[in-house]
A and B are shown apart, each in its own frame.
Chain A
């Protein structure tokens, strides 16, 4: 019995010691920082290979390529600026307005690119390199160190009736009531009464999206459209409707938007 008790004490002692040392090691800031710094170094090399030519040495979007112009089917010329990482504001996030994007958001953009813009896809770069370059990009703005991260991530569960004619009709009413047409126009052509004076947060002229022109930059799936209503597109004139619309109404609006895009009847 004594023997057994001694053995138990020993085991428990070893257990506590192991637990303590593990905890100490995992919270040892120095080690973590060293590991993080390694990734940033790799990321910097990747950045200078693929990204610097558009996004610039300082990450401010003023690379050698400069501004890109695209003309869509209606003849309207889009002016596209490479993103300025030093400000730390991103359009396509899964976090609410005012929040930083998640690492997954950044990885998705780097991997898939943004269609109908100047950002190409980088699927040919290894996943490890892509993750490393994201760590480097995060060093351009102090926001990632200074700010508390956002807890909420927009949850997206598409109901079955999205895209049905009843939902489209309801969505049309929501579109009218929410005054989307003030910027996007009654037919979604981006020619609403407020559309010609719009400027983004940095003083550059910006046009509301013309839904009849083709796919959305974020992707035209119902989930992508829904997320945009929730998060707003920070840095542009597109606000968040999270606090103005019930979830059900947001999905009706998605149906109507799909119709304007020509993806639903």
Chain B
């Protein structure tokens, strides 16, 4: 009697719980003897990294104006094109698209710092369900506005005010996709974060090299994104226990969005 009742109540509670469980967007499995992708990203173009002029409007209090002018400086090296003498491109996001199964993504939090009127780091990776830690190291007002870049529009993720120096705000990463950061008070500031559910995202180093490991064998599309070049996508086949080589060369530039805000 009691058993039937208990059984019924438990089942009655479980059924709705099960129905709410959505099909997971990314399934974590054990990857043994997975494959890898490795390569170098170059460009065939001759590019020059511009110097961005910084214009601080004067405020009523000249001391405040002085502090802001000193902290931000008069110009900033943009840092769009960091290309080695052998045309290897740094700071390219290498993203494996449409991965449904694989190893677990790390739970590391991403720290982004407002420092000397720049976002540091310029390009970084964050994982869904970890946290963003946004810091302000400058003695001035910054606001950090994060937005995910949809096909042709930007959708706000967070817009946080950081008026104090050494202030830190922690927020959960709930949205996947390519996210850009801007500061409304300083229109030249920008940063890019790729927020991923899976761990198969990386950034090229100073030699344009990248490496992705422990992928389940199969055919993948890899996307190469950089703020100053038109993006490239390439198909690659990953075989168990082997590392596939995938090099790419950017052949077209594009104007980064933040230059339009100046």
Contacts and interface: CB of A to CB of B under 8 A. Distances in A.
Same assembly = yes
Nearest to A231: B159
Contacts of A199: 187, 261
Contacts of B86: none
Contact of A244 (B157, B162, B175): B162
Contacts of A203: 260
Contacts, number: 120
A201 B4 contact: no
Given A16-B4, A19-B8, A183 B160 contact: no
A237 B156 contact: no
Contacts of A8: 1
A29 B23 CA distance: 14
Secondary structure at the A interface, as helix, strand, loop or mixed, is loop
B143 A237 contact: yes
B248 interface: no
B252 interface: no
Interface string B140-172: 110111110010011111111111100101010
B92 to A, nearest CB: 25
B57 interface: yes
B184 A194 contact: yes
Interface in B176-198: 184-185, 187
A48 to B, nearest CB: 23
B59 interface: yes
A242 to B, nearest CB: 8
Interface in B1-32: 1, 4-5, 8-9, 11-12, 15-16, 19
B157 to A, nearest CB: 5
B74 to A, nearest CB: 16
Given A193-B57, A201-B154, A235-B156, A23 B174 contact: no
B96 to A, nearest CB: 20
A237 B184 contact: yes
A26 B9 CA distance: 15
Contact of B150 (A13, A87, A240): A87
Contact of A177 (B56, B158, B163): B163
29 contacts: A12-B4, A16-B5, A19-B8, A19-B9, A27-B15, A87-B153, A87-B155, A88-B155, A97-B158, A98-B158, A179-B141, A181-B60, A182-B141, A182-B185, A193-B59, A199-B261, A201-B147, A201-B155, A201-B156, A203-B260, A232-B159, A235-B156, A239-B143, A239-B161, A240-B160, A244-B161, A244-B162, A244-B163, A244-B169
Name the 10 nearest CB pairs between A and B, nearest first.
A237-B184, A179-B141, A16-B8, A234-B156, A239-B161, A193-B57, A239-B143, A27-B19, A239-B159, A98-B158
